[in-house]
Homo-oligomer: A and B are copies of this chain.
Amino acid sequence: MTDVKHMKWWGWGLEGVGFHFEDKPDFVPFVQKAVALDVRTPPVPPLDFDQLTIAPPRLSPSFEATLVAIVGEENAHTDDMVRVVHTYGKSIRDLLRIRRNEIARVPDIVVYPADEWDVQQIVDAAVAEGAVIIPFGGGSNIAGSLEPLPDETRTIVSLDLGRLDRVLEIDEGSGLARIQAGAQGPDIEAQLGAKGWTLGHFPDSFTHSTLGGWVATRSSGMQSDKYGDIADIARGLRMVRPGTIVELRPLPSTSTGPSVREMIIGSEGRLGVITEVTVQVHRVPEVREVQAYFFPNWKAGLAAMHEISESDASPSITRVSDARESGFSLATRKASKGISGAAQSVLMSVLKRRGWVLEDMCLSFIGYEGSASHVSYEKKLVGAIVKKHGGLGVGKGPGALYDQKKFDTPYLRDFLLDRGAAADVSETAAPWSKLQEVYDTTVAAADKAYEALGVHGWIMCHLSHSYHSGACLYFTFAFVHGDDPIAQYEVVKYSIQQAFQDAGGTLSHHHGVGVEHSPWMEQDISEGGVALIQGLFDSADPQHLFNPGKVLGTLQVTADDVAEIVANAPKAPAPAPAP
């Protein structure tokens, strides 16, 4: 049996790790107030694995034998558990389907190649067989980039890169590291850190996602303001295609026509299998610090983030939550951590006396990296801007807390799902001048969807990833679902995504397209733009063997579907009971 570890088949992260509210005194009343849900009611856990209906593999003995010959018996799996683990990513749609035994099609075999040569042989064998290849990294995707098409009649090979997990080489003279595509976040930082380097790429999925996955879906990390999005970080790469390897040597910049590098980044397996990426790495800085600030309201927070992006300062993180998310953050603090309850009360009194409306207050985190003197210099620049916009620094405490729990949020989703609430995230990016409109339009669209569905729902947002000309708005939404949670989710998700488009945002800032966002591709990059990508895919993969249907080609949900679901929705729910 391969020793590649996988997440729970029914949820996020490792078995035995989960979200707990018992040590977070404000959490119960917060959720009660937000969506009228009492999280103390006994959870309904997921079904047993045995209850799943899983079709047997569709696999010719000769093809199976070929694959086994390439990777060895212990690295080729056709058992149900491994196949199910490789069927979905971790979107709420994925979790809902698997919990409801909705598994239209699972991969027929999962193979774990040892190296690039194995990958080449697998790809060539699959092409000869006319089999579909779906590359698999950490399985954390939330855009449906991993799932087999439900009506796929050909054999499906899930190609798991998990054994390609090494940092192969650090070019210390250039700040470049050659890393295998299957390496996960913590692996990478551990191997680099042992030599004094860091990649600096910290997506929310960091603990369970891979370098290859980041590249394939155009990922961003929390410190991307400093380190860049993965498209900036990935300077060279290798991708296995039928009979050949596309090799892009690491270059700081080049003038070589349409960028093949930028065709492969975001290609989600449709052009081939990424096996290796040469990435920018940095010396671990002398100081890495996250400072927290409060702003009197969202508008002030947004304006401050914009001014910071225009200033001479260049922080590693610029993040501000709206009032709802700020409330959520404060409600999930542990009794003993961050700003203590008492200190918080004092602070709130002070702010009230200053005329702040506490319900409007917004929490912000700004990250600083570099030499101690540089961090001090930048903090001064940022401090002046925060002050100008009526904000207030509250020190490192909440920042440390943020740093510590930043990768835990996905566990909360499973917790809520056990208790009848569906939650997920949608993020976008837009020019600065459009952010307020994107925000207003999206919140209104979600609220309208909840109302139309007759459910108690919630949406909150933060700005992160500042650029010269705009920023990312990251929305988290949740609702207490009814008997058909997937249909309800589709209405909410559709409403949010369409709001992005209507207000000038893009379909996703860093979660990829998959099948979840592909319905918005034409609105996003125009019909002519879609045709260019389609031409690229068709010419590169005329048989559509490489992760077919992703990015383009599969309409998951339409406006008509949404209208029909809404028409059949129950009437509005009773008002939330007092906590």
Residues of A participating in the B interface, judged by any CB pair closer than 8 Å: 171-176, 217-218, 220, 229, 231, 235, 239, 241, 244-268, 271, 280, 282-283, 310, 312, 314, 370-371, 374, 377, 429-434, 465, 467-472, 504-513, 517, 521, 524-529, 531-536, 538-540, 551-552
Contact = CB atoms under 8 A, between A and B. Distances in A.
B310 A175 contact: yes
Given A255-B509, A431-B251, A260 B529 contact: yes
A259 B257 contact: no
A263 B258 contact: yes
A523 to B, nearest CB: 10
Contacts of A528: 239, 241, 244-247
A288 to B, nearest CB: 13
B280 A250 contact: no
Contact of A263 (B231, B255, B470, B532): B532
A309 B307 CA distance: 25
Contact of A539 (B264, B271, B535): B535
Contacts of A173: 431-433
A246 to B, nearest CB: 4
Given A175-B432, A280-B468, A280-B469, A510 B260 contact: no
A252 B429 contact: yes
Given A248-B525, A250-B469, A526-B245, A263 B268 contact: no
A314 to B, nearest CB: 7
A238 to B, nearest CB: 9
Nearest to A217: B255
By Cβ-Cβ distance, the 7 closest A-B pairs, closest first, are A535-B539, A173-B433, A262-B262, A252-B470, A252-B467, A246-B528, A174-B431
Given A252-B468, A260-B525, A262-B262, 4 more contacts: A250-B469, A253-B465, A257-B266, A280-B468
B377 A506 contact: no
A173 B433 CA distance: 5
Contacts of A261: 262
Nearest to A218: B255
A544 to B, nearest CB: 14
Given A175-B468, A536-B535, A540-B535, A258 B254 contact: no
Contact of A257 (B171, B172, B239, B268): B268
Nearest to A373: B312
B174 A433 contact: yes
A283 B472 CA distance: 22
B257 A470 contact: no
B532 A469 contact: no
A464 to B, nearest CB: 11
A11 to B, nearest CB: 24
B254 A265 contact: no
A252 B526 CA distance: 17
A350 B377 CA distance: 36
B260 A533 contact: yes
B257 A551 contact: yes
A258 B265 contact: yes
A538 B258 CA distance: 13
Nearest to A537: B258
Nearest to A309: B175
A431 B252 contact: yes
A533 to B, nearest CB: 6
14 contacts: A175-B468, A246-B525, A247-B526, A248-B529, A251-B430, A254-B429, A256-B525, A257-B513, A257-B551, A258-B263, A259-B265, A283-B310, A312-B374, A538-B539
A119 to B, nearest CB: 14
Residue among A235, A280, A470 facing the most chain B CB atoms (10 A cut-off): A470
A449 B440 CA distance: 65
A256 B550 CA distance: 11
Contact of A174 (B171, B271, B469): B469
A283 B311 CA distance: 10
A259 B250 contact: no
Given A280-B469, A540-B532, A253 B429 contact: yes
Contact of A254 (B374, B524, B527): B524
A223 to B, nearest CB: 14
Nearest to A436: B173
A177 to B, nearest CB: 10
Residue among A217, A264, A526, A529 facing the most chain B CB atoms (10 A cut-off): A529
A471 B253 CA distance: 8
